[in-house]
């Protein structure tokens, strides 16, 4: 929703009142507007263009449309009416756009060729001509109607200007005052020209917000709310909020000498930030922390005490993953590139530190590196190796037993074949003996 700053509304209305002062003189007819009012009218439009950035041509077009609307409303006019305003002199004219015919049958829409020639001698049948109208008693109602329409146009322009201005601020940090802060609901922040909305999911669970608190927020998006009013969706829990704070506090990052490669965050508790510098003479971690931790402390203060681990990014996955698990010490990292999976071995006394409370450290490391990480202690890894070795021995024994079974089966099969051949030989001998007998 768009908000007008204190003092802004009064100045805005003062300008608009001057713009419409000339309209109130239309009690008899528009053509009799006082000269002084016309001058104020033009001067006010020039001032609005200069101070508000609202195009004078756009205001003139809006006034013309407004006066057409007012005229139609009060005089039951048809749609062939147009209004022109001279942007230099301020003179206002109302015209009926009529079709030129030989003989007019509808005086509201048609004009005879004879009468049309009096206005424009070159006009022909089938063309159109503008016939000026000087209505009486156009009056206060028409002027007020026109005023309302123009005020709306001016507000639309200002909304568009604010929307476009803050659309360019997407991804940046803004500062504002908390206007509304109820527990369990969105926080409303006054950002000056518009309101910022901080949804519940974008708030930090460990933070509490009070009315008139001055807070910073990360602009996630700029949207149009009710009635087209622009509003910014801001966040204090987004990882890029921490990234932007580093850019603000660390000159080397702002200048591009150090790059923030990745950020993972458990809002309110801990963040991990991976930094890198192409310049070998620059210590990216030391530059971010600062002498005696001065630089990083400013960021921690803005995050209300949230802990921050700054690590050096590396192209080597095993080195990067080992660093991401700081403050825990890592003994070895075995990686599988295809699966983006890493098996990490840590000393027994470092296991709980590597995993972290409720798995926080391991979870943040996985998000930071975008790798799946399985952490084992040295003892667990040894047990795993022993079990694996035992499993291999059992498998070898099973394979050997299977081989022995196969050999035994083959031997039995050979014996059976031998007996079968012997039986066949005996049968042949018996037959021969019988034949001899």
Which tens digits make up the pLDDT trace of 84-138? Answer: 877 777 677 788 888 888 888 777 788 888 888 888 888 888 888 888 877 666 6
What pLDDT score was predicted for residue 146? 62
Q: In angstroms, rounded to a whole number, what is the distance separating the alpha carbons of residues 226 and 2?
A: 9
- Nearest-angstrom CA–CA distance, 156 and 171: 25
Distance CA 372, CA 381 (A): 18
- At residue 356, φ and ψ (nearest 5 deg) are 85, 170
In angstroms, what CA-CA distances link 10 with 107, 230, 389? 46, 21, 84
Query: How much is the pTM?
Result: 0.65
How much is the pLDDT for 7?
Answer: 39
**HSE on the CB side for 260, CA within 13 Å?**
25
Phi/psi region, residue 177 (left: phi>0; alpha: psi -120 to 50; beta: rest), is: beta
Pairing of strands 173-180, 214-224: antiparallel
Answer whether 239's CB lies under 8 Å from 276's CB: no
Query: Are the C-beta atoms of residues 367 and 264 closer than 8 Å to each other?
Result: yes
CA distances to 272, 367, 431 from 296, in Å: 12, 21, 108
The residues that bridge with 265 in the sheet, in sequence order, are 271
What is the C-alpha to C-alpha distance for residues 160 and 151, in angstroms, rounded to an integer?
14
What domains can you pick out in the chain, each with its CATH number?
8-165 (3.30.1480.10), 168-235 (2.40.50.140)
Q: Report the pLDDT value the prediction gives residue 160, as an integer from 0 to 100.
A: 81
Tokens of 353: 């530190």
Would you mind telling me the total number of residues written for the chain in this entry? 437
Calculate the alpha carbon distances from 277 to 43, 263, 281, 310, 321 in Å: 57, 16, 9, 13, 18
Question: Which of 296, 353, 349, 348 is CA-nearest to residue 326?
Answer: 353
Q: What is the largest CA-CA distance in the chain?
A: 158
Helix (H) or strand (E) holding 134: none
User: Beta-carbon neighbour count of residue 296 at 10 Å?
Assistant: 18
Q: Which residue, 214, 211, 174, 212, is CA-closest to 196?
A: 174
What pLDDT is attached to residue 4? 32
Residues in CB range of 322: below 8 A, 6 or more apart: 330, 333, 344
| Residue 35 to residue 402: CA distance in whole angstroms | 115
Handedness of CA 194, 198, 199, 200 (dihedral sign): negative
Q: How many Å separate Cα 333 from the centre of its chain?
A: 37
Q: Do residues 262 and 313 lie in contact, with contact meaning Cβ atoms separated by under 8 Å?
A: yes
Q: Give the other-Cβ count within 10 Å of 167's Cβ.
A: 14
Angstrom distance (rounded) from CA 363 to CA 272 = 11
- Are 127 and 138 within 8 A, CB to CB? no
What is the number of alpha carbons within 13 Å of residue 28 lying toward its C-beta?
4
Q: Which pLDDT score is estimated for 173? A: 93
Give every residue of the chain whose pLDDT is below 70, as ranges. Answer: 1-41, 52, 75-79, 90, 135-143, 145-147, 149-150, 390-437
Question: CA-CA distance, 130 to 116, in Å (whole number)?
Answer: 9
């Amino acid at each position: 929703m768009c908000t007008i700053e204190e003092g802004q509304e009064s100045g805005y209305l003062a300008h608009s009142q001057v713009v419409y002062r000339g309209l109130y003189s239309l009690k008899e007819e528009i053509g009799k507007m006082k000269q002084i009012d016309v001058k104020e009218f033009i001067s006010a439009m020039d001032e609005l263009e200069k101070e508000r950035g609202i195009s004078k041509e756009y205001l003139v077009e809006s006034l013309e449309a407004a006066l057409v609307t007012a005229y139609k409303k009060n005089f039951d006019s048809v749609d062939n009416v147009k209004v022109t305003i001279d942007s230099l002199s301020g003179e206002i004219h109302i015209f009926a756009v009529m079709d030129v015919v030989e003989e007019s049958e509808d005086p509201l829409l048609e004009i005879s060729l004879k009468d049309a020639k009096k206005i424009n001698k070159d006009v022909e049948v089938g063309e159109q001509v503008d016939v000026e109208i000087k209505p009486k008693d156009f009056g206060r109602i028409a002027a007020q109607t026109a005023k309302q329409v123009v005020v709306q146009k001016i507000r639309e322009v200002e909304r568009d200007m604010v929307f476009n201005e803050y659309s360019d601020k997407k991804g940046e940090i803004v500062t504002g005052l908390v206007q509304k802060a109820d527990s369990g609901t969105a926080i409303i922040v006054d950002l000056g020209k518009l309101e910022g909305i901080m949804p519940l999911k974008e708030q930090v669970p460990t933070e509490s917000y009070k009315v008139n608190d001055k807070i910073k927020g990360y602009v996630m998006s700029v949207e149009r709310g009710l009635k087209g009013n622009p509003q910014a969706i801001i966040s204090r829990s987004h990882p890029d909020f921490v990234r932007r704070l580093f850019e603000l506090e660390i000159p080397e990052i702002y200048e591009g000498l150090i790059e923030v490669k990745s950020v993972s965050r458990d809002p309110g508790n801990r963040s991990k930030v991976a930094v890198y510098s192409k310049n070998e003479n620059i210590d990216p971690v030391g530059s971010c922390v600062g002498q005696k931790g001065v630089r990083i402390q400013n960021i921690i203060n803005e995050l209300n005490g949230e802990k921050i681990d700054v690590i050096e990014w590396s192209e080597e996955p095993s080195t990067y993953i080992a660093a991401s698990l700081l403050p825990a010490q890592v003994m070895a990292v075995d990686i599988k590139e295809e699966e983006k999976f890493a098996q990490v071995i840590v000393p027994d006394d470092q296991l709980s530190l590597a995993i972290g409370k409720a798995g926080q450290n391991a979870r943040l490391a996985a998000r930071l590196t975008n790798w799946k990480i399985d952490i084992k202690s040295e003892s667990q890894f040894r047990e795993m190796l022993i079990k694996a070795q035992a499993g291999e021995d059992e498998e070898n024994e099973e394979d050997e037993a299977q081989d022995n079974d196969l050999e035994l089966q083959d031997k039995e099969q050979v014996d059976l074949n031998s007996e079968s051949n012997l039986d066949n030989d005996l049968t042949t001998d018996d037959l021969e003996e019988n034949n001899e007998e």
